[in-house]
């Protein structure tokens, strides 16, 4: 399976999601958009993963490549290519499908519970998760659901925590994929430290990391369940939509 990974900052790779993709023998093609790398055509891939980043989905003036990225996401998911977005990735999916992305009432930073909706319990990916699960949150933006989307997870602070559009396009507002190495690296990103202090007060980042370490194993187990289910969908689609175009010219 060929997976395109859209990355927006070096310290937000797929982490545990990538571990599972490697275990499944996926060919991963990573594009560092914030570094000016060029996106290949979406039709070269069996699935697309879009990760987080400190920018907003609406920051096209500061980051013009966001326009092209959202066009790629739109065209791919409308064509039925499986998509999985995390944090900024879900906001980009929502925006690409015509929904409004905007600053939320308060930043949501730290480990907070999210809850399956009735639709989530019936979803082929999310039905294998517990009804309530801890999730690492690190965002100040939120989004409306695109037309036709199905809400899968919610929380008291932010109603839209995860959704599905069509049969194979998914997004989650939070991070389950973060491992200890990556969590420690986030402490060195000024924008992330500022968000933690803004949400939790001075020393907020240390409290976030303490809670993260308490729940890390459970979150990573759930990350494996979620991405494994998504890769099953990718594999099923690949059986009927082979991707044979050569990627050599993009390597």
Residue 115: predicted pLDDT: 98
Q: How sure is the predictor about 189, in pLDDT bands with cuts at 50, 70 and 90?
A: confident
Predicted confidence (pLDDT) per residue in 22-80, tens digit: 999 999 999 999 999 999 999 999 999 999 998 999 999 999 999 999 999 999 999 99
- Residue 251: pLDDT over 70: no
Distance of alpha carbon 160 from alpha carbon 116, whole angstroms: 11
Tell me which CATH code domain 2-250 carries.
3.40.50.880
**DSSP for the chain, written as a single string:** -EEEEEESSTT---THHHHHHHHTT-EEEEEEGGGTPPP--GGG-SEEEE---SS-TT-TTT-THHHHHHHHHHHHHHTT--EEEETHHHHHHHHHTT--EEEEEEEEEEEEEEEE-HHHHHSTTGGGS-SEEEEEEEEEEEEPPPTT-EEEEE-SS-S-SEEEETTTEEEESSBS---HHHHHHHTT-HHHHHHHHHHH-TTHHHHHHHHHHHHHHHHHHHHHHHHHHHHHHHHHHHTTS------GGG-
pLDDT in tens, 192-241: 777 777 777 777 778 888 888 899 999 999 999 999 999 999 999 998 87
The predicted structure's pLDDT at residue 247: 52
Using a 10 angstrom Cβ sphere, with 0-12 exposed, 13-18 middle and 19 or more buried, the burial of residue 201 is: exposed
- Give me the pLDDT at residue 242, please: 65
Average pLDDT, the chain: 91
Which of the two residues, 83 and 243, has the higher pLDDT score? Answer: 83
pTM over 0.85: yes
What pLDDT shows up at residue 204? 75
Asked if pLDDT for residue 138 goes beyond 80, the answer is yes
Percent of the chain at pLDDT > 70 equals 94
Q: How confident is the model at residue 93 (pLDDT cuts 50, 70, 90)?
A: very high
pLDDT beyond 60 at 244? no
In this prediction, residue 127 carries a pLDDT of 95
Contact criterion met (CB below 8 Å) for 220 and 227: no
**Cα(first)–Cα(last) distance of the chain, in Å?**
17
For residue 249, pLDDT beyond 50 = no
Sign of CA pseudo-dihedral 17, 23, 26, 29: positive
Nearest to 89 by CA among 76, 105, 107, 106: 76
Model confidence at 117, pLDDT cuts 50, 70, 90, reads: very high
pLDDT bin (cut points 50, 70, 90) of residue 250 is: very low
Q: Is the pLDDT of residue 134 over 80?
A: yes
Is 82 within 8 Å of 135 (Cβ atoms)? no
Domain regions of the chain by residue span: 2-250
């Amino acid at each position: 399976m060929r997976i395109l990974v859209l990355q927006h900052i070096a310290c937000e790779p797929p982490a545990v999601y990538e571990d599972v993709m490697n275990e499944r023998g996926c060919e991963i093609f990573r594009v560092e958009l914030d570094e000016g790398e060029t996106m290949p055509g979406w039709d070269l891939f069996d699935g697309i993963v879009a990760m987080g980043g400190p920018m907003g989905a609406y920051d096209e003036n500061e980051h013009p490549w966001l326009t092209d990225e959202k066009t790629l996401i739109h065209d791919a998911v409308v064509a039925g290519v499986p998509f999985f977005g995390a944090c900024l990735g879900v906001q980009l999916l929502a925006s690409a499908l015509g929904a409004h992305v905007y600053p939320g009432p308060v930043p949501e930073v730290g480990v907070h519970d999210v809850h399956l909706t009735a639709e989530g319990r019936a979803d082929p990916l999310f039905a294998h998760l517990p009804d309530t699960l801890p999730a690492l949150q690190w965002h100040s933006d939120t989004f409306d659901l695109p037309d036709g989307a199905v809400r899968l997870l919610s929380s008291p602070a932010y109603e839209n925590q995860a959704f599905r559009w069509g049969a194979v396009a998914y997004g989650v507002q939070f991070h389950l994929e973060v491992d200890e190495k990556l969590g420690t690296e986030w402490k060195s990103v000024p924008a992330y430290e500022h968000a933690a202090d803004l949400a939790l007060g001075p020393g907020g980042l240390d409290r976030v990391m303490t809670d993260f370490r308490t729940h890390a194993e459970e979150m990573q187990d759930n990350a494996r369940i979620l991405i494994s289910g998504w890769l099953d969908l990718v594999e099923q689609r690949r059986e009927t939509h082979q991707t044979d175009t050569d990627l050599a010219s993009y390597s």
